[in-house]
């Protein structure tokens, strides 16, 4: 872990839960695709492209009994068309909800069973990421670095990362908590500012040192974000 200032960066101790020695850097999309193949070989039925519309409950209403999928064959106003089919119901002894930070089915379960009654409020962030193919002299396979400090001020929650992946690719990005007070703050511009300082600029200050393979922006609540946030397409 490193702490950034406008001109310098310093190594600092990291919390034990952020230790990544011996772990793997993987592509989540490639990993889930590989894992899906293994699951199907074991007899698991996968239904990609189908969204769950509601939860099913036990007769007494005290437990989740499964998931109902969306109806198909409806028009834009939700009216049945000639090819209408009622959404399938999947019932199981155990239902695992893995919808991300704020899934619709998860919110239903949280409200119905009061699962957040004795918990701290959930926090959210806006993340931006670029994937670079860097100069071989700057490539460190498997290296993981987390960052904090500049360009974010002491009142803004957030931090960054640098992951050296396979094939000379490096993932670097920044996450900013959605409770930031400055309405003109742009997470993407803050990421670019952090790249300009010495420690990160060494990845890109060689002739033809890097090419941007992809740019990704993510936000749980896009409707709450200021207009000043822009995420350009990768060239």
Residue 235 pLDDT: 36
- The CB density around residue 155, as the number of other CB atoms within 10 Å, is 9
Residue 175 pLDDT: 93
Residues 6+ apart with CB under 8 A from 34: none
Residues 176 and 127: their CA atoms lie apart, in Å, by 6
Residues 194 and 204: their CA atoms lie apart, in Å, by 12
Residue 99 pLDDT: 83
Kindly report the pTM of this predicted structure: 0.71
Residue 209 pLDDT: 44
Please provide the DSSP assignment of 86-144 as one string. PPPEEE-S-------TT-HHHHHHHHHHTTTTTSPPP--EEEEEEEEE--GGG--TT-E
Residue 204 pLDDT: 67
CB-based burial label for 72 (10 Å; 0-12, 13-18, 19+): middle
Residue 216 pLDDT: 54
Residue 224 pLDDT: 36
Residue 156 pLDDT: 93
C-alpha gyration radius of the chain:
22
Residue 91 pLDDT: 92
Residue 208 pLDDT: 44
Residue 197 pLDDT: 67
Closest CA to 153 of 185, 122, 127, 124: 185
Alpha helices in the chain (DSSP H): 28-41, 104-113, 187-195, 198-201
Q: Where in the chain is the domain with CATH 3.30.9.90?
A: 19-25+123-224
Residues 172 and 132: their CA atoms lie apart, in Å, by 8
Fold that domain 19-25+123-224 belongs to in CATH: D-Amino Acid Oxidase; Chain A, domain 2 (3.30.9)
CB 160 within 8 A of CB 144: no
Question: At residue 149, what are phi and psi to the nearest 5 degrees?
Answer: 95, -150
CB 195 within 8 A of CB 201: yes
Residues 51 and 68: their CA atoms lie apart, in Å, by 9
DSSP, res 234? P
Sequential pLDDT tens for the chain (235 residues) = 999 888 888 899 988 888 888 888 888 888 989 999 999 999 988 888 888 899 999 999 999 999 999 888 888 887 889 888 888 899 989 999 988 777 899 999 989 998 888 888 888 888 898 888 888 888 899 899 999 998 899 899 999 999 998 888 888 899 999 899 998 999 989 988 888 766 777 776 544 444 554 455 554 443 333 333 344 443 3
């Amino acid at each position: 872990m490193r702490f950034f200032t406008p001109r310098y960066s310093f190594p600092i101790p990291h919390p034990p839960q952020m230790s990544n020695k011996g772990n793997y850097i993987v592509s989540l999309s490639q990993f889930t695709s590989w894992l899906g193949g293994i699951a199907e070989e074991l007899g698991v039925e996968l239904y990609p492209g189908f969204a769950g519309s509601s939860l099913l409950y036990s007769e007494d209403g005290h437990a989740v009994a499964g998931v109902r999928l969306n109806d198909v064959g409806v028009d834009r106003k939700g009216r049945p068309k000639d090819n209408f089919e009622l959404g399938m119901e999947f019932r199981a002894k155990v239902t695992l909800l893995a919808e991300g930070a704020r899934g619709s089915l998860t919110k239903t379960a949280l409200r119905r069973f009061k699962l957040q009654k004795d918990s701290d409020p959930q926090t959210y962030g806006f993340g931006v990421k670029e994937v670079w193919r860097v100069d071989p002299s700057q490539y460190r396979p498997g290296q993981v670095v987390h960052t904090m400090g500049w360009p974010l001020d002491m009142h803004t929650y957030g931090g960054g990362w640098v992951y050296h992946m396979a094939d000379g690719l490096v993932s670097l990005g920044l996450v900013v908590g959605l409770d930031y007070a400055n309405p003109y703050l742009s997470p993407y511009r803050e990421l670019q500012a952090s790249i300009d300082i010495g420690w990160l600029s060494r990845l890109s200050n060689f002739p033809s040192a890097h090419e941007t393979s992809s740019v990704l922006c993510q936000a749980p609540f896009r409707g709450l974000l200021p207009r000043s946030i822009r995420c350009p397409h990768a060239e």
